[in-house]
Structure 1
Amino acid sequence: MTDPNEPLVLIEQRGHTRMLTLNRPHVRNALSVALSNALVAELHSADDDADTRVILLTGAGGAFCSGVDLKDLSEHGFDGAESVDGNCITHLADVRTPVVGLVSGPAVTGGFELALACDFLIATPDARFADTHSRVGIVPGGGLTARLTEAVGVRRARQMSSTGAYLDADTALAWGVVNEIVPPAQLHDRGWSVAEAMLTADARTLTAVWNLYDALSADGTATAVERESVVNRGWSVAGDEVAGRAKSVVTHGRSESATS
């Protein structure tokens, strides 16, 4: 169990690189409201710091993020209209500083959206990716339908969203979800190393190039992200409905992880 006195997002600064670590390992870093708010605050703090030129995003305890906390959803339900200020995924996608995601273990549903909102991903062999929104009964609201399609193509995106099937790391690499796979013990070191290589670029030039890539991505996804957000904001699900589905979602995830 995580010490309640520990921060929900751990921060480590090395030179011009800042690592943010989601810190709810006892629930595989599931996104509670508190964790989401803490991540938003830390992302903006890093983005506003002129000395921080690269952000690394990872999760504690061998998991990236298992998605929105189903216990929270079961107790309170879901009302997209309450997310008028967006969510941590939207805020992540909007930061100007390059963000490299370091993924081990599950990156599922909201956690998958969070990973896709990073600029690129480095993963371990045990990384697993899945979209189970349809199983939970909630329309995505963090740009998944846009960014997953950008990464893997619409046919593969349809398959993932309709079946909830898990991608193993090798398939995620072949499909273009992740850039490379490294041994678990080397994940953080590889992240720091890649960040260091990025820092050797001329800062002004890299910013201009990064803005061009951002604009290119926005050309293809901005309308799709907004369309998804509109549907999400109008979506609501009662807590007892989520509770009724939560057990089957968890069982599905365990069976998929065991066989993949």
Structure 2
Amino acid sequence: MTSPDLVLIEQIGACRLITLNRPEARNALSQALNRQLIDALAAADTAADTSVILLAGAGGAFCAGMDLKELAERGFTGTDKTENCIDRVSNCRTPVIGLIDGSAVTGGFELALACDFLIASENARFADTHSRVGIVPGGGLTARLVEAIGVRRARQMSGTGQYIDATTALDWGLVNQVVESAGLRERGLAIAEAFTATDAATLAEVWQLYDAVSRDHIAQAVDREADINRAWSAQALALVDTTKAVLEHGRAQNKSAR
């Protein structure tokens, strides 16, 4: 049985539009979606006919973050060194522009932050709810969010878990531009087309310089966050196992007492 198309891919001129396609789950990152997105990004990043990657979400949402139901049942990639789609976006040599329509929350917010820059619709909303759901960030949020909006605003977002709207995101420098939802795709394609007017070899060198600046500023913070996330995840899993064992022991005692 073949897997459903959790990622839609369109080649439009020199632009590769990649769309997360789990609208019924607000494009939450399941393991299957993570894998398909990694593959799509890797293919686009090495494609000779692709100068720009656009990353979007289907169904009026960008990404709701990790699939918490699956995370509770099976775990995700936070406790090991397996590549995830957030890393894959940040490691792309090809420019990646995020098109944000609707919500980008927690892990979905990290996915957006991994893009080179963001164009948002007026419906875009951003939130870091890691602390509310009890998960330590592991996708570089604490590093990239500070780079984007400054540490004080980053603390506010992570400390409150409250959403900011598109206007605030533009004012804070989180997004480059806000457009009407109906025009978001066309605006993204127009920007991608403008990229193709540059000399490809020169742009690649310039992009590497910008990437190097970001790495100099945030690489240590990203690694530190990942280490803390792995340690926290291991502790959380141990607590779950201990709690499960206690409950099972209690059930066994109740049965024997009957």
TM-score normalised over the length of structure 1 = 0.87
CA distance in 2, matches of 1:80, 1:182: 34
**Number of residue-to-residue matches in the alignment:** 237
**1:109 corresponds to which of 98, 101, 106:** 106
**Which deviations, in whole Å up to 9, do the C-alpha atoms of 1:64-120 show, x marking residues without a partner?**
001001111232356732x31231101110010000000000000000000000000
2:213 aligned with 1:219: no
Q: Partner residue of 2:72?
A: 74
Shift of 1:16: 1.2
**1:54 corresponds to which of 37, 52, 55:** 52
Q: Partner residue of 2:170?
A: 173
Q: Partner residue of 2:19?
A: 21
Q: Partner residue of 1:139?
A: 136
Is the Cα contact below 8 Å between 1:74 and 1:240 reproduced in 2? no
Is the Cα contact below 8 Å between 2:23 and 2:59 reproduced in 1? yes
CA distance in 2, matches of 1:216, 1:69: 32
Q: State the structure with bigger RCO (CA 8 A, min sep 6), 1 or 2.
A: 1
Larger radius of gyration: 2
**Which deviations, in whole Å up to 9, do the C-alpha atoms of 1:30-71 show, x marking residues without a partner?**
000100111001100101112211000000011100100111
CA distance in 2, matches of 1:59, 1:33: 17
Q: Partner residue of 1:258?
A: none
Distance 1:186 1:79, change over 3 A: closer
CA distance in 1, matches of 2:89, 2:238: 27
Alignment of 1:197-216 (within 5 A): 197-216=194-213
Give the gaps of 5 or more residues in structure 1. Answer: 242-260
Residue range with higher mean Cα deviation, 84-93 or 18-27: 84-93
CA distance in 1, matches of 2:58, 2:13: 22
Q: Partner residue of 2:93?
A: 96
Is the Cα contact below 8 Å between 1:75 and 1:240 reproduced in 2? no
CA distance in 1, matches of 2:231, 2:136: 10
Give the letter for the 2:54 counterpart.
Answer: L
Give the letter for the 1:16 counterpart.
Answer: A
> Partner of 1:234: helix, strand, or coil?
helix
Q: Partner residue of 1:33?
A: 31
Q: Partner residue of 1:130?
A: 127
CA distance in 2, matches of 1:115, 1:224: 18
Give the gaps of 5 or more residues in structure 2. Answer: 241-258
Q: Partner residue of 1:252?
A: none
Distance 1:75 1:185, change over 3 A: same
> Partner of 1:178: helix, strand, or coil?
coil
Give the letter for the 2:47 counterpart.
Answer: D
**1:162 corresponds to which of 137, 154, 159:** 159
Q: Partner residue of 1:250?
A: none
Shift of 1:137: 1.1
TM-score normalised over the length of structure 2 = 0.88
CA distance in 2, matches of 1:74, 1:239: 13
